[in-house]
Amino acid sequence: MKIVFSNKHAAHDPQTFFVRGVNRPAAEQPERAERLLGAATEAGHKVVAPRSHGRGPAAAIHTPEYLDFLSTIARDWAQLPGASAEVMPNVHPARYPASYPKALAGRAGWHQVDLACPIGPGTWDAALAASEVATTAAELVLEGAREAYALCRPPGHHAYADMAGGFCYLNNTAIAAQRLRDEHQRVAILDVDVHHGNGTQGIFWERADVLTISIHADPANYYPYFWGHAHETGAGAGTGFNLNLPQPMGSPDEPWLAAGDAAAARIRQFAPTALVVALGLDASETDPLQGLKVTGAGFHAMAARVAALGLPTVLVQEGGYLSDDLGHNLVQFLAGFEQGRA
Ligand SMILES: [Zn+2]
């Protein structure tokens, strides 16, 4: 399988990640991508460079004011007296009607939903490169490849049209799906990251042409808390085109794979002609974020289910954090996918 990858990811090296009020080392480190790339190339998958697209594909998903914010805020923030090295909001508009502010601190609060998406000097370049990686993988599939894997970093599925969150800035999965929509009437997204794909859900919330499904640890006690519940099914024209399959915390392979079967059934009913998999590997039993307990064999089996759908498929890397199994789990997923195709 072709792997689309850019070294530009390394420009984004976040230093801030608040957990229960404590600033800890960021889980979303550059080493993640190096480990994933090393394991996949060792397993024989071939690396190709992304094509240059600029911000066009991102602009098909994200708002102009948000892209302006992401591309300029680190530079402007650095000019503020006493500013931190990374852009971090200390105020949010929260749940009441609000007006878009001019002040940098206000804009940060508007566009950054939590304290897990710091913006440093290299964040924009890395996020833009990741959007080009996802777009290129989608184009390989449009050009006839049965599948392609976008090794994106930073990840994207928590990013809304105008809001960063949870290590995510540009929604690579949504960008790939939108690119596929140029030639496919119906596209499905299956998100197997341990966290709910809330940004993706939000982006397609009122659309019937992109089916969004997420299998994740129950947000009752897990990030992103406010979204990912089973009753969230979409709105307007999109009603019924969002499916959340939350799993009890600590669930092992069997219920996770049963959710995969339910997802596959819904995808078959929707009858798309292309698929995007938001491939988080943080459902692993050894992932430091500890939401579910999926094994390498579980990833292999899920991939086989996805491949059996027989759809042109773009795999987009989402989460999955540093553990001894990270690279192994990716290789298991890619192997399961290729065997499921056979
Ligand atoms: Zn995740």
Tens digit of each residue's pLDDT (9 = 90 or more) over 187-196: 999 999 999 9
Q: Find the 319 Cα to ligand 1 centroid distance in Å.
A: 4
Q: Find the 293 Cα to ligand 1 centroid distance in Å.
A: 13
Mean pLDDT along residues 249-258: 98
What's residue 19's pLDDT?
Answer: 87
Neighbouring residues of the ion ligand 1, judged by CB less than 5 Å: 193, 195, 280, 282, 319
pLDDT bracket for residue 118 (50, 70, 90): very high
Please check the confidence at residue 94 and state whether its pLDDT lies above 90. no
- Residue 127 has phi, psi (to 5 degrees) of -65, -40
Q: Phi-psi category of 135—alpha, beta or left, where left has phi over 0 and alpha has psi -120 to 50?
A: alpha
Query: Residue 22 CB: number of other CB atoms within 10 A?
Result: 7
Is-cis flag, bond preceding 154, omega within 30? Answer: yes
Catalytic member of 45, 53, 111, 158: 158
Please check the confidence at residue 221 and state whether its pLDDT lies above 90. yes
Q: What percent of the chain has pLDDT over 70?
A: 100
Please check the confidence at residue 210 and state whether its pLDDT lies above 90. yes
What's residue 103's pLDDT?
Answer: 97
Q: What is the pLDDT of residues 267-318, one digit of tens each?
A: 999 999 999 999 999 999 999 999 999 999 999 999 999 999 999 999 999 9
CB-based contacts of 98-107 (< 8 A; 24+ apart in sequence): 100/65, 104/73, 104/76, 104/77, 104/80, 107/69, 107/73
Q: Which residues contact 279 (CB under 8 A, 6 or more apart)?
A: 149, 192, 193, 315, 316, 317, 318, 333
pLDDT bracket for residue 91 (50, 70, 90): very high
DSSP annotation of 11 reads G
Q: Find the 169 Cα to ligand 1 centroid distance in Å.
A: 14
- 298, 253 contact by CB (below 8 A): yes
Whether 158 is catalytic is: yes
pLDDT bracket for residue 71 (50, 70, 90): very high
- Residue 314 has phi, psi (to 5 degrees) of -105, 120
Q: What is the pLDDT of residues 121-168, one digit of tens each?
A: 999 999 999 999 999 999 999 999 999 999 999 999 999 999 999 999
d(C-alpha 141, C-alpha 114), whole Å: 34
Question: In a 10 Å sphere around its CB, with 0-12 CB exposed, 13-18 middle and 19+ buried, how is residue 293 labelled?
Answer: middle
Please check the confidence at residue 342 and state whether its pLDDT lies above 90. no
Is-cis flag, bond preceding 224, omega within 30? Answer: yes
What's residue 110's pLDDT?
Answer: 98
pLDDT bracket for residue 260 (50, 70, 90): very high
What's residue 46's pLDDT?
Answer: 98
Q: Find the 335 Cα to ligand 1 centroid distance in Å.
A: 21
Mean pLDDT along residues 45-70: 98
Q: Find the 37 Cα to ligand 1 centroid distance in Å.
A: 18
Mean pLDDT along residues 1-23: 95
Mean pLDDT along residues 256-276: 98
Query: What Cα–Cα distance (Å) separates residue 132 from each residue in 57, 138, 197, 243?
Result: 8, 10, 20, 27
